[in-house]
Homo-oligomer: A and B are copies of this chain.
Amino acid sequence: MPVVNMVQALNSALREEMRRDPRIIVLGEDVGRRGGVFLVTEGLIEEFGPERVIDTPLTEAGIVGVATGMAMYGLKPVAEIQFIDFIYEAFDQIVTNLSKIRRRTGGMYSAPLIVRGPCCGGVKGGMFHSQSNESYFIHTAGLIVVMPSRPYDAKGLLKASIRGEDPVIFLEPKILYRTVKEEIPDGDYIVPIGESRIVKEGSDATIVTWGAMVYQALETSKLVESKHGWSIEIIDLRTLFPYDKDSIIESLEKTGRLVIVHEAPKTLGLGAEIAAYIAENYIELLKAPIIRVAGFDTPFPLVHEKLYMPNIARIYMGLSKVMSY
């Protein structure tokens, strides 16, 4: 089994799927000879040609709108948004067409395509190369939202997304593109949409998180384990919508304490929904308040991003609150 990083894992997912099914095409800004600015599509144009690997003009609305039309006609496009922070021009296409095409045509048409792009902070990308904007998509009925945290999941989830029948917003934490490497199976496998992963078992408190924050959570769990002997369970959601509520409930049945950690701004970040869901349906499981450790409610800053994003200190503070309640 080869050791790969996330870029390579995504690239091999695309390549294998494109070999499997000629309807799968890739489009976006600079995805051709440039291979995408992070090289996720590297080498694809050489293998599949410019009809299936399409360098588009500079308009995200055009990319998503045109890809939606392609999917309605019968192709299976994987559209790249160069940085997910640039997706807003496409928001009308996403809300009006992509997410609603099945419903608004009475099921006659669907547009099961993938919109993927690098997200989240940690690379000193500043305000418009660092955003975690999953909430906008989770709040929009009709969309699946996915965010892998490791190469294995990246490949398996992208394949599952491509083979699914619904539109998927596929968010890739760019800081993990080359920093995490692991062995993954060479050939075909799938990580099912909607299933979380227990990163680490524990019995005192549950951290629900996703993306690069999985690693911050892990690091913090080691700190508090050594410092206080607290045993922390960590759940990597992987699919942000529909999220795997059962795994959270199961864990809470054990721990009774919940900390949700995400990079997105706190107010109406997905943490809000999870907390509300638990407070609505499983409040009796709780031994403590539900704590959210999240990006602050500000534009993403160029300077001090590691203080803006949840870090070991802030997650520690969150865990302390639920453990000391």
Contact = CB atoms under 8 A, between A and B. Distances in A.
Contacts of A136: 136, 139
A92 B128 CA distance: 11
Nearest to A91: B91
A73 interface: no
Give how many copies assemble into the complex: 2
Contacts of A129: none
Contacts of A103: 127, 298-299
Contacts of A241: 267
Contacts of A92: 88-89, 91
Given A275-B275, A289-B279, A141 B299 contact: yes
Interface residues of A, number: 45
A319 to B, nearest CB: 14
A135 B127 contact: no
B283 A138 contact: no
A278 interface: yes
A270 B135 CA distance: 12
A297 B103 CA distance: 12
A173 interface: no
Nearest to A95: B88
Contact of A290 (B61, B276, B291): B276
A291 B277 CA distance: 9
Nearest to A275: B276
A265 B288 CA distance: 28
Nearest to A271: B276
A292 B268 contact: no
Interface in A111-165: 127-128, 135-136, 138-139, 141-142
A253 B268 CA distance: 24
Interface in A260-309: 265, 267-273, 275-276, 278-281, 283, 286, 288-292, 297-299
Contacts of A320: none
- Between A278, A279, A297, the greatest number of chain B beta carbons within 10 A of the residue's beta carbon is seen for A279
Contacts of A99: 299
Contacts of A273: 267-268, 272, 276
Contact of A268 (B100, B138, B279, B280): B138
Contacts of A270: 268
Contacts of A279: 275-276, 278-279, 283, 286, 289-290
Nearest to A270: B268
7 contacts: A61-B89, A88-B92, A88-B95, A138-B267, A139-B269, A279-B286, A280-B291
Interface of A: 61, 88-89, 91-92, 94-96, 99-100, 103-104, 127-128, 135-136, 138-139, 141-142, 241, 265, 267-273, 275-276, 278-281, 283, 286, 288-292, 297-299
Given A61-B89, A135-B135, 15 more contacts: A88-B96, A89-B92, A104-B127, A135-B139, A139-B269, A141-B299, A142-B299, A268-B268, A268-B270, A273-B276, A278-B279, A279-B283, A280-B289, A280-B291, A283-B289
